[in-house]
């Protein structure tokens, strides 16, 4: 007896595999942005409160809020203490915020442009070029002990900008000399060579103009000493211009990271973008150097810390470097003012003490990039 043929049970329909979403760099998260703003506000209050005469942080915060039009709070401070807050400490802290933000932003920008985790305004010779130009203006222009910024408000920043552009151009050309590719290691070696050459020129100028040694020497060590709001108002336009240009083009750094061919296919002009970003970062570095002298390692410490904590996209690194760099230098200035009170440690010495071990750590983590 033959039975009816068994019909095969149809297999259940299979759902098409979900297509994974295209990966893209993580954007700037609100919590990191809030943390950066909070760090700036904390550094602002701490910088104004701490000093030879300590003031209550709550009273200082209230007095700072009173600077906002329409706000009237009772701070409990005397007239003398209010003058200390608004005329002495606040300009210095604001200058530290501007300079710290500029140096950290420039460091992150250089790292993206050169695709080099060790790129920094000082390692690329940019600060040395600005320093040579400022030294030349101080020595040859006869700026005495009054200070470079106060003596020549327009010539100093412009000379520093010209010197910084000259230095970064020399580093870029020397890094690719002999038909070699501009690898991270070659750029660093070129930056060291350019810095040594420019520093030799600076030493020669100081030797020929010994009467300028004292003001230049104190400037070389880095300092945030300021006589009111003059220095802040001088640096502010350069800081605004640098910040706007770099942040508006921060997405292009992520595109440049994949290579020039891919960048061109996406409609980007790699060389034009590099030149624009280098000019903007050099302008910010020049403004910072002309106002406060040589303050190193901020451009390495802050962007790398942000990269490790918040992400590797330059859409994240650059705005957070601006905020945390500002807070970092303002808080470092508090250490410089209070660690050896009543004496004051040059802030460049403090950042060097912090940056030396950090640079060793960066070298260890960047071995694959350098080889």
pLDDT tens-digit readout, 159-171 = 888 888 889 888 8
Query: What average pLDDT does range 172-199 have in this prediction?
Result: 77
Is the pLDDT confidence value at 188 over 80? no
Query: What average pLDDT does range 337-358 have in this prediction?
Result: 85
Look at 225 and 17; give whichever has higher pLDDT: 225
pLDDT value for 94:
95
170 found inside a domain: yes
Is the pLDDT confidence value at 128 over 80? yes
Instruction: For the chain, give the secondary structure using H, E and C.
Output: CCCCCCCCCCCCCCCCCCCCCCCCCCCCCHHHHHHHHHHHHHHHHHHHHCCCCCCCHHHHHHHHHCCCCCCCCCCCCCHHHHHHHHHHHHHHHHHHHHHHHHHHHHHHHHHHHCCCCCCCCCCCCHHHHHHHHHHHHHHHHCCCCCCHHHHCCCHHHHHHHHHHHHHHHHHHHHHCHHHCCCCHHHHHHHHHHHHHHHHHHHHHHHHHCHHHHHHHHHHHCCCCCCCCCHHHHHHHHHHHHHHHHHHHCHHHHHHHCCCHHHHHHCCCCHHHHHHHHHHHHHHHHHHHHHHHCCCCCHHHHHHHHHHHHHCCCHHHHHHHHHHHHHHHHHHHHHHHHHCCCCCCCCHHHHHHHHHHHHHHHHHHHCHHHHC
Closest CA to 52 of 84, 92, 78, 91: 84
Q: Give how many domains the chain has, as a whole number.
A: 1
160 found inside a domain: yes
Residues 6+ apart with CB under 8 A from 276: 245, 249
Whole-number Å distance between alpha carbons of 141 and 93: 29
Query: What average pLDDT does range 7-22 have in this prediction?
Result: 45
pLDDT tens-digit readout, 303-336 = 999 998 988 899 999 999 999 999 999 999 999 9
pLDDT tens-digit readout, 137-181 = 877 775 544 443 444 446 777 888 888 888 988 888 887 765 555
Whole-number Å distance between alpha carbons of 359 and 351: 11
4 found inside a domain: no
Domain hosting 304: range is 30-360
pLDDT value for 359:
74
Kindly report whether the global pTM for this prediction surpasses the value 0.85. Answer: no
Least confident range of 33-47, 152-166, 348-362: 152-166
115 found inside a domain: yes
370 found inside a domain: no
Model confidence at 5, in pLDDT bands (50, 70, 90)?
Answer: very low
10 found inside a domain: no
211 found inside a domain: yes
141 found inside a domain: yes
Q: How high does pLDDT run on average in the chain?
A: 81
pLDDT value for 49:
94
Find the CATH number of the domain harbouring 268. Answer: 1.10.3470.10
Q: What percent of the chain has pLDDT over 70?
A: 83
């Amino acid at each position: 007896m033959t039975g009816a043929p068994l019909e095969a049970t149809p297999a259940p329909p299979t759902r098409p595999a979900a297509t994974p979403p295209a990966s893209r760099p993580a954007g700037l998260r609100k919590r990191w942005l809030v943390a950066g703003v909070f760090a700036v506000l904390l550094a602002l209050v701490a910088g104004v409160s701490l000093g030879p005469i300590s003031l209550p942080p709550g009273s200082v915060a209230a007095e700072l809020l009173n600077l906002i039009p329409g706000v009237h709070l009772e701070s409990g401070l005397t007239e003398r203490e209010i003058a200390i807050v608004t005329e002495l400490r606040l300009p210095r802290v604001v200058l530290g915020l501007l300079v710290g933000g500029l140096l950290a932003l420039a460091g992150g920008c250089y790292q993206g442009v050169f695709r080099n985790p060790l790129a920094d305004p000082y390692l690329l010779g940019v600060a040395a070029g600005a320093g040579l130009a400022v030294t030349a203006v101080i020595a040859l222009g006869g700026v005495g002990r009054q200070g470079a910024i106060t003596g020549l408000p327009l010539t100093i920043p412009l000379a520093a900008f010209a010197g910084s552009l000259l230095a970064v151009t020399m580093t870029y050309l020397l890094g690719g000399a002999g038909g070699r590719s501009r690898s991270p290691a070659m750029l660093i070696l070129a930056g060291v060579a350019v810095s040594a050459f420019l520093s030799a020129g600076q030493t020669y100028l100081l030797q020929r103009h010994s009467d300028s040694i004292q003001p230049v020497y104190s400037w070389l060590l880095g300092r945030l000493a300021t006589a009111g709001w003059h220095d802040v108002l001088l640096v502010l336009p350069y800081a605004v211009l640098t910040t706007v240009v770099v942040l508006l083009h921060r997405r292009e750094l992520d595109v440049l990271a994949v290579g020039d061919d891919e960048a061109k296919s996406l409609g980007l002009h790699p060389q034009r973008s590099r030149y624009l970003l280098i000019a903007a970062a050099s302008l910010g570095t020049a403004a910072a150097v002309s106002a406060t002298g040589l303050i190193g390692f901020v451009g390495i410490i802050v962007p790398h810390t942000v990269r490790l904590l918040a992400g590797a996209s330059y859409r994240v690194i650059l705005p957070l470097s601006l905020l945390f760099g500002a807070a970092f230098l303002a808080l470092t200035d508090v250490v410089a003012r209070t660690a050896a009170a009543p004496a004051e440690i040059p802030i460049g010495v403090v950042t060097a003490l912090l940056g030396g071990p950090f640079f060793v750590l960066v070298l260890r983590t960047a071995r694959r990039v350098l080889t």
